[in-house]
Amino acid sequence: MPQNLLEQLRRYTTVVADTGDINSMEQFRPTDATTNPSLITTAAQMPQYQPIVDGVIMDAKRELGENASDKDVANLAFQGLAVAFGKKILAIVPGRVSTEVDARLSYDTEATIAQARSIIAQYDKAKVGREHVLIKIASTWEGIRAAEVLEKEGIHCNLTLLFGIHQAVAAAEAGATLVSPFVGRILDWYKKDTGKDYQGAADPGVQSVTRIYNYYKKFGYKTQVMGASFRNIGEIEELAGCDLLTISPHLLGELEKTEGDLPRKLDPEKAKSMQFERILVDKAAFKKMHAEDRMATDKLKEGIEGFSAALVNLEQMLAKRLAELESRAPATV
């Protein structure tokens, strides 16, 4: 009996759901799941998750006290909400959930470390083992340094918004558990910059992840590669064999409905025989390589700004919801 592409992909690659929607996870049963502020905001607006949102808001209010501003409560509540969804997700997926540090801290190593510790403390309190949690941090030099400290403390990190080989090498040297190169966003940049379309193995995002994967396997890095941000299932097919792929529910559905042969494209044994020049990345080299890579410079900046804006929107939504809850409180007494 012919197998669909999703079933075949699972033979070579750990499938991760790129969503905050619990229903989608129950449908596709991924091994792991990732979230970000945009996904959490979308999920938080769904009626079925309103009790979770309301509970987190009121917990934050109680923690900060009656005199706390709605803005401060909302700021604390976003962390609690990410963890609340994380716990809900881990009731479905057997592996790990990625929970993101505030993107506005992306260039502040110490603040990133502090918030990561705060997030993991909430999971610890909920008796969620650290092997089930990845802390998502933007792949800035400062973020990578934060991950280096956290990994030594047994806090596993997913370095996200990764677009260039310099970021990938620095992350692996820092001992990061996982990196998330953004396939579709790389494709978007090249299409806009060149006016060309790219298919299959010619896709620049596919080429970037392939290079990172082969480099890691060639030199024996333990850091795993998780391709992310896909625009079509063709990109996913070209990366069959990657350690992990995080895929939206829409594309998971498309893979499930599509039959055909899915050969393995990325293979650790083949990578070991490939010729690669070792790349040394200290701070000066990282900054130089980043400045010379227009695509990585543009997309990292855009990604941090986008996640930061999504967080502002989420906090505004939470503050508005807090005001609604407080306005109703006297009537329920």
Active site (catalytic) residues: 136
Residue pair 120/133 in contact (Cβ under 8 Å)? The answer is yes
**Strand ranges for 60-189 from DSSP E:** 97-100, 133-138, 157-162, 178-181
Closest of 111, 155, 162 to residue 304, by C-alpha: 162
Q: Give Rg (Cα) of the chain.
A: 20
Kindly tell me the burial class for residue 55, based on how many C-beta atoms sit within 10 Å of its own C-beta (0-12, 13-18, 19 or more): middle
Question: What is the CB neighbour count within 10 angstroms for residue 124?
Answer: 13
87 phi and psi angles, rounded to 5 deg: -65, -40
Residue pair 274/259 in contact (Cβ under 8 Å)? The answer is no
Alpha-carbon span 3 to 242, nearest angstrom? 20
Alpha-carbon span 207 to 201, nearest angstrom? 7
Kindly tell me the burial class for residue 268, based on how many C-beta atoms sit within 10 Å of its own C-beta (0-12, 13-18, 19 or more): middle
Structure tokens at 320: 């508005």
Closest of 216, 219, 249 to residue 26, by C-alpha: 249
Helix (H, G, I), strand (E, B) or coil at 189: helix
Alpha-carbon span 124 to 274, nearest angstrom? 42
Structure tokens at 17: 């759901």
